[in-house]
Each structure stands twice: as C-alpha cells, then as structure tokens.
Amino acid sequence: MFRAILVEKTDSGQEAKVATLAEAQLPEGDVLLRVERSTVNYKDALAITGRSPVIRRFPMVPGIDGAGEVLESTHPAFRRGDRALVNGYGVGEAHFGCLAERARLKGDWLVRTPAAFTAAQAMAIGTAGYTAMLCVMALERHDLAPEKGEVLVTGAAGGVGSVAVAILARLGYRVVASTGRPSEAEYLKGLGAGEVVERAALATPGKPLQKERWAGVVDCVGGVTLANACAATRYRGAVAACGLAGGMDFPATVAPFILRGVTLIGIDSVMAPMDERREAWERLARDLEPRKLAAMTREIGLGEVVAAAPEVLAGKVRGRLVVDPSR
C-alpha cells in the first residue's frame, strides 16, 4: 500500500485528495519506481483544481514529473536500484502520475537521473527546468550566442523562467527578466538577471514592429506578451515559446517574421524525442549551478499539494515546488 494524490469525478465536478492505494491498482508498465520526489507544475495544478480538462480519464493520480529508485523492471535499459526520472508522456493525464509514493511506468519514458543531481534536485528542475533547457538549446540552434545581444525571459519568477534565467546567465548572456512580481527583483538578480522589468511593459498591446532589442527570447507567457516580444526581437533573432500563462491567443502580425527574419520556435516538452531529453538533462547537469536550485525551491509534503495548486495557478509561487511523497 502507498499514498497518492487521487483525483476522482464527482456529481459537481471533481475532487482531489490524499488516498491510500495498492500497487495492484497501478496501470501497466515495465518499471516500478519508488518516487522519492515529485513536483507541482502548472499542468499539475490545472489537473488538481479542474480548471482545465487536463485529465483524460478518471480516477487519476496527477504528477507529470517524478524521480526516484527503480524497484522492479522488465525493461532492458533499467534494473533494480537504478536512478531514473520521468517528464511528460501523458503521465498524470492519461496514465497514473508521480504525486505518489509509487509509479508504474514504461521504461521508454524514463531518463537516467544524472549523477550530479539528487532526486530532490532533479525535481527542483523537473519539467519546468527541462523545458527551459529545451528553449536554450533551440535558441542555440538558431545561432544565439552571448555576443549577439540581450535575451528576454518572460514570466521569469515562475518555474521555467527561473531556470532559464539561471542557465542563460551561467552561459554568459545578459538576461533581462520580466515579471509581474516586482518584489522578486532581488531573487531574479540572484539567479543572474542583469535587469528586471515589470510585466506591464510587455502586457499592453504595442506596435506590430518595435525598436529592436532582443537577440533571443524565452517566453513562458504567450498572448500580448509574446506578440510584443516578437515585435522587439532583433534582425534574425529567435523566440522560443513554451507557455501560455498569459493566454493562448497570439495578437500579432507577420511583420517581425517577414521584415526582420525573426524565428518563432514552439517548444514541446511532453513528447520531445528521447535524444533531446537526454541532451537536455546532460546540459542541465553541466550548465545549471546546483546552489541556485536551493534559491528557487520550496519543498512540501504530499498532504500540502492540494492546497498549493491554486497558488501555482495564481502565480503566487516563486520558482519550484518539490514534493516529498513520503510526508
């Protein structure tokens, strides 16, 4: 028996609670993982609160991220005692996830946890940090380099944004961090931001083509913010779009793309190819300073997850929430 967050259908919608499950209730998979740490991502918060139809079947254990020790395996790449982690692949949406003490998963979804990270550190990174690294890798493939100019990170105080700021600063970029929480300016500068700007500067509709400033952008917000970021990106610059906290719409024109050759890159972390996943985690082990993880992380127990979910959606959580399922 083990504890898990369980989301069930009710007459009025859905209910999320801490429940006790048996391993026999876990779905099919060739690896049984003892989950040492998980996280509460934006998508997890949507699943727990029911604010968006993230869950595709009920009942469901949410948790798109998990890291821990392999207890059982019939997969050729993993054996008992191995350290592994999972991000995405529909885990926590269509397949029981990792906000639990146990998870049965497909070995093809797993990445070996880099030796540089404990399970807690790996989940302080989680999907948010892995997505941030996918953004950096995509921008690098479009020839972004520190000497090309400033890089903008929107939604910078959130999970993806925090890790993106830390990585880019470590790589030598001058990072401009945009946030709707001015009180987090010192936190962002501690991660390496050279300048912090208020979200309002990007959240109001602007001209379709603005003064060139950004060599590259990591956008975690979408909506008007993304449109303004594209409009101010320099000639042949690139924008990596990975979030929609500010909305799914894109109220822009084609001007930046056909007059300045700006590239807009969509970043998908859920079904990204395994070779990109492995590369991203190898890069994280090299390009992210572990000491900065502590500054952007708060750890909670399984019993605190349901109450934390609305705070994540409201943008009140700095950086990352790591979950210890054992408490």
Check whether residue 150 and residue 67 sit in a common domain.
no
| Nearest-angstrom CA–CA distance, 17 and 201 | 40
Check whether residue 86 and residue 171 sit in a common domain.
no
| Nearest-angstrom CA–CA distance, 207 and 304 | 44
| Nearest-angstrom CA–CA distance, 174 and 180 | 20
Check whether residue 137 and residue 63 sit in a common domain.
no
**How do residues 89-145 score in pLDDT, each as one tens digit?**
999 999 999 999 999 999 999 999 999 999 999 999 999 999 999 999 999 999 999
Q: Which of 266, 287, 315 is the last residue of a domain?
A: 266
Check whether residue 251 and residue 308 sit in a common domain.
no
Check whether residue 100 and residue 7 sit in a common domain.
yes
Check whether residue 99 and residue 158 sit in a common domain.
no
Q: Are strands 175-179 and 195-198 parallel, antiparallel or unpaired?
A: parallel
Q: Are strands 214-219 and 233-241 parallel, antiparallel or unpaired?
A: parallel
Q: Which of 51-55, 68-72, 82-86, 142-146 has the lowest mean pLDDT?
A: 51-55
Give the structural domain span for 62.
2-113+296-324
Q: How is residue 273 written in tokens?
A: 């190819």
Residue 229 lies in a domain: yes
Check whether residue 13 and residue 101 sit in a common domain.
yes
Q: At what angle do helices 274-287 and 159-170 cross, to 10 degrees?
A: 60
CATH label of the domain that carries residue 160: 3.40.50.720
pLDDT at 198: 94
pLDDT at 327: 93
**How do residues 272-316 score in pLDDT, each as one tens digit?**
999 999 999 999 999 999 889 988 999 999 999 999 999 999 988
Residue 280 lies in a domain: no
| Cβ neighbourhood burial of 205 (10 Å; 0-12, 13-18, 19+) | exposed
Residue 276 lies in a domain: no
pLDDT at 167: 98
Given pLDDT bands bounded at 50, 70 and 90, which one contains residue 246? Answer: confident
Residue 78 lies in a domain: yes
Which CA distances in Å does 3 have to 18, 50, 147, 257? 7, 21, 50, 50
Check whether residue 140 and residue 232 sit in a common domain.
yes
Check whether residue 156 and residue 242 sit in a common domain.
yes
Check whether residue 210 and residue 311 sit in a common domain.
no
Residue 243 lies in a domain: yes
How much is the mean pLDDT over the chain?
Answer: 96
pLDDT at 156: 96
Number of domains in the chain: 2
Number of neighbours of residue 172 by Cβ within 10 angstroms? 10
CATH label of the domain that carries residue 76: 3.90.180.10
* 165 closest CA partner among 186, 144, 191: 191
Which CA distances in Å does 96 have to 48, 82, 145, 269? 13, 21, 40, 18
Residue 18 lies in a domain: yes
Specify the pTM. Answer: 0.93
Check whether residue 131 and residue 211 sit in a common domain.
yes
Check whether residue 136 and residue 250 sit in a common domain.
yes
